[in-house]
Amino acid sequence: MLLAVDVGNTRIKVAVFEGNTLLEQFHFSSTELRNELHFILNKFKKATEMVVASVGNLPKEVFLEFEDQVNIHFISTDSTLPFKNKYSTPNTLGIDRMVLASGAVLKYPNQNRLVIDAGTCITYDFIDENDNYLGGAISPGIRLRFESLNSHTAKLPLLTLESITEQNPESDAIPFIGNSTLEAINSGVINGVINEIEGFISQYEAVYPKFIIILSGGDSEFLAKRLKNTIFANSNFLLESLNQTFQHKIKND
């Protein structure tokens, strides 16, 4: 039994796997880490392995406190991964992007793949059919865009994704002509993100006529209903990829 731990910029996500079966998952803040890990390990006493992928600022020592209960593994640039890293600065590639690329290669072999992860940031990662990781793009996520408008202006209010869905529970579309300040912000942020994603996909299509698109991250379900392109939407793809990457590492080390 394995604990897959994703330490993000804002939240920590933990999934418990038995083989490839996801048994349960947990979300919490970094301040709750110790208590939550104690709870999870006590609940799943058969867990023998913990694999950690971190883009946050938590020191490794926080996890090593639990090494008397479980074997702990950290994904790093030195890990055995199923793709060739063609990034010009390979050591700066984010651990989360490495794991997503690894999961795409392992789950969708012999295909061109574009992984779009919509969380705090929106990341784009392209791996070709020969398993070459070519790179991608990074832009602010939905929450960061709302926060930026609020914090860098004098009068624009802070909106959230939750407020949009509460106001329009039956509608997937955000009017592109906002006739109030709130609607204008919603249109600028949400339609801006949608147009950005669709634009990037079109640029990839001009070079690679055939590829699959995997949409992951906390905002993936919200965006999937609004995108025109055919995609595989899976908000748990990073955690599943972390489990698959660990299994690959064990087999090939």
Q: How far apart are the first and last CA of the chain?
A: 19
What would you report as the CA-atom Rg of the chain, rounded to the nearest whole angstrom? Answer: 19
Longest dimension (CA), the chain: 59
198 and 228 Cβ atoms separated by less than 8 Å: yes
Of 6, 78, 96, 117, which one is the catalytic site residue? Answer: 96
Name the DSSP class of 245. H
Whose structure tokens read 């489990």? Answer: 243
11 and 58 Cβ atoms separated by less than 8 Å: no
The pair of three-digit structure tokens given for residue 198, joined into one six-digit string: 């669709």
**Is 68 a known active-site residue?**
no
Secondary structure (3-state) at 50: strand
Whose structure tokens read 């860098």? Answer: 152
State the catalytic residues.
96
